[in-house]
C-alpha cells in the first residue's frame, strides 16, 4: 500500500507540474497563434485564391511580373541599410565600451522611442529640397539654395531614415555584448600595442558575433516590413518598397489576392533570417 500511494502521489505531482508548465506557456502561445500563425495562414491561403475563391497561381504570376524590380529594390535598400547600421553600431558600441560617454549613448538611444511615422515625417522635413539640412547649408553662402539636391524623396533619403530609426536597438544589443567581454582580454591586447580600432575590429566584433548576427536579423526583418518611412520618403515615380505595393493593391486595386501574395513573398525573403535567429536563440 505505501508503495502504491507513493506512485499515485508521484503521478499526481507530475501531472500538476505538466499542467503548471502548460499554463505558463499558454498565454505566449495563444498570442503567437492569434497574432502571427492564424493571420499568416489566412494570407497564405488567400494568395492562392482569386476573387471567386478559386485556387490559382495567377496572383504570384502577376506579382512577379509587375513587382520584380520593386522586390530587388527592397532587398538592396534593406541590405545596404543593414550594413550601415551594423557598422555604425559596432563602432559606436566599441567606442562607448572603451570610453563611456552617457550623453552620446543617450543621443543614439533616442530613435528607440520615436515611432516610424514620426521618423518619416521628420526626415521628410529635414531632407526636403528646402528643408532644414539644405537651409543650414545654404546659410553658409557656399551653396545655391535653388539647386540643392533633394535627399528626401530618393533612395538615399530612405536609407538615411532607416539607418537612423534602427540604430538605437542595434546599438543597445551590440553594446550589451561588448560590455560583457572580460576587460582582461582588452588590457592584454592594449599591452601588445593594439589601438582602439583594432580592439573593436579584432577583439570585440569576433567575440560578439552571435549577438551582432541576431541584431542584424531583427533589423533586417524590421526594415523589410516597414511602411511609414517608404510611404513618406519614397519616389512615387520610380521603384517602391514592397509594403507600398501591398498597400496599393489592397487600397486602390482592391485585390486582396495580389496583396496576400506580396505579403507571402516578403515573408519568404525574411524567413531565412528568421530561421537563423530562432536557431541562435535556441542555442543560447
Residue 212 has pLDDT above 50, yes or no: yes
Residue 261 has pLDDT above 90, yes or no: yes
Task: Round to whole Å and give the CA distance between 41 and 62.
Answer: 21
- Is the Cβ–Cβ distance between 199 and 98 less than 8 Å? yes
129-133, 206-210, 215-219, 251-255: least confident range = 129-133
pLDDT for 1: 46
According to the 3-state scheme, what is the secondary structure of the chain? CHHHHHHHHHHHHHHHHHHHHHHHHHHHHHHHHHHHHHHHHHHHHHHCECCCCCECCHHHHHHHHHHHHHHHHHHHHHHHHHHHHHHHHHHHHHHHHHCCCHHHHHHHHHHHHCCHHHHHHHHHHHHCCCCHHHHHHHCCCCCCHHHCCCCCCCHHHHHHHHHHHHHHHHHHHHHHHHHCCCHHHHHHHHHCCCCHHHHHHHHHHHHCHHHHHHHHHHHHHHHHCCCHHHHHHCCCCCCCCHHHHHHHHHHHCCCHHHHHHHHHHHHHHHHHHHHHHHHHHHHC
% of the chain residues with pLDDT over 70? 88
Residue 184 has pLDDT above 60, yes or no: yes
pLDDT for 194: 82
pLDDT for 148: 64
pLDDT for 147: 66
Top-confidence residue, 206 or 279: 206
pLDDT for 255: 92
Interval 31-36 mean pLDDT: 82
Top-confidence residue, 176 or 101: 176
Task: Round to whole Å and give the CA distance between 164 and 184.
Answer: 33
Task: Round to whole Å and give the CA distance between 108 and 168.
Answer: 6
Residue 6 has pLDDT above 60, yes or no: no
pLDDT band for position 34 (cuts 50, 70, 90): confident
pLDDT for 283: 65
Q: What is the pLDDT of residues 42-64, one digit of tens each?
A: 889 999 988 888 899 999 999 99
pLDDT for 247: 92
Q: At what angle do helices 58-98 and 102-109 cross, to 10 degrees?
A: 170
pLDDT band for position 170 (cuts 50, 70, 90): very high
Q: What is the pLDDT of residues 59-115, one digit of tens each?
A: 999 999 999 999 999 999 999 999 999 999 999 999 999 887 888 888 888 888 888
For the chain, the average pLDDT equals 84
Q: How far lies 276's CA from each of 265, 273, 281, in Å?
A: 18, 5, 9
pLDDT band for position 9 (cuts 50, 70, 90): low
pLDDT band for position 8 (cuts 50, 70, 90): low
- Is the Cβ–Cβ distance between 81 and 163 less than 8 Å? yes
pLDDT band for position 150 (cuts 50, 70, 90): low
Interval 17-42 mean pLDDT: 83
Residue 7 has pLDDT above 80, yes or no: no
pLDDT for 154: 81
Query: Among positive and negative, which fits the CA dihedral 52, 56, 60, 65?
Result: negative
Residue 139 has pLDDT above 60, yes or no: yes
Interval 222-244 mean pLDDT: 84
Amino acid at each position: 500500500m505505501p508503495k502504491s500511494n507513493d506512485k499515485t502521489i508521484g503521478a499526481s505531482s507530475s501531472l500538476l507540474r505538466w499542467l503548471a508548465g502548460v499554463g505558463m506557456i499558454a498565454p505566449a502561445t495563444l498570442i503567437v497563434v492569434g497574432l502571427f500563425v492564424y493571420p499568416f495562414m489566412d494570407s497564405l491561403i488567400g494568395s492562392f485564391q482569386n476573387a471567386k475563391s478559386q485556387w490559382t497561381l495567377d496572383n504570384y504570376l502577376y506579382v512577379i511580373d509587375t513587382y520584380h524590380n520593386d522586390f530587388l529594390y527592397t532587398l538592396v535598400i534593406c541590405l545596404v541599410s543593414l550594413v550601415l547600421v551594423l557598422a555604425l553600431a559596432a563602432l559606436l558600441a566599441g567606442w562607448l565600451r572603451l570610453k563611456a560617454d552617457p550623453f552620446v549613448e543617450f543621443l543614439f538611444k533616442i530613435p528607440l522611442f520615436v515611432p516610424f511615422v514620426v521618423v518619416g515625417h521628420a526626415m521628410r522635413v529635414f531632407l526636403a529640397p528646402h528643408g532644414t539640412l539644405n537651409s543650414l547649408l545654404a546659410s553658409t553662402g557656399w551653396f545655391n539654395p535653388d539647386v540643392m539636391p533633394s535627399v528626401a524623396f530618393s533612395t538615399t533619403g530612405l536609407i538615411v531614415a532607416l539607418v537612423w530609426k534602427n540604430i538605437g536597438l542595434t546599438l543597445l544589443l551590440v553594446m550589451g555584448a561588448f560590455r560583457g567581454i572580460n576587460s582582461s582580454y582588452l588590457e592584454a591586447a592594449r599591452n601588445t600595442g593594439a589601438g582602439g580600432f583594432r580592439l573593436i575590429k579584432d577583439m570585440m566584433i569576433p567575440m560578439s558575433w552571435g549577438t551582432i548576427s541576431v541584431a542584424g536579423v531583427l533589423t533586417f526583418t524590421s526594415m523589410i516590413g516597414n511602411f511609414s518611412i517608404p510611404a513618406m520618403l519614397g519616389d512615387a515615380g520610380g521603384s517602391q518598397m514592397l509594403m507600398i505595393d501591398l498597400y496599393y493593391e489592397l487600397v486602390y486595386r482592391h485585390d486582396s489576392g495580389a496583396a496576400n501574395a506580396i505579403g507571402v513573398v516578403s515573408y519568404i525573403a525574411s524567413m531565412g533570417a528568421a530561421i537563423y535567429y530562432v536557431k541562435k536563440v535556441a542555442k543560447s
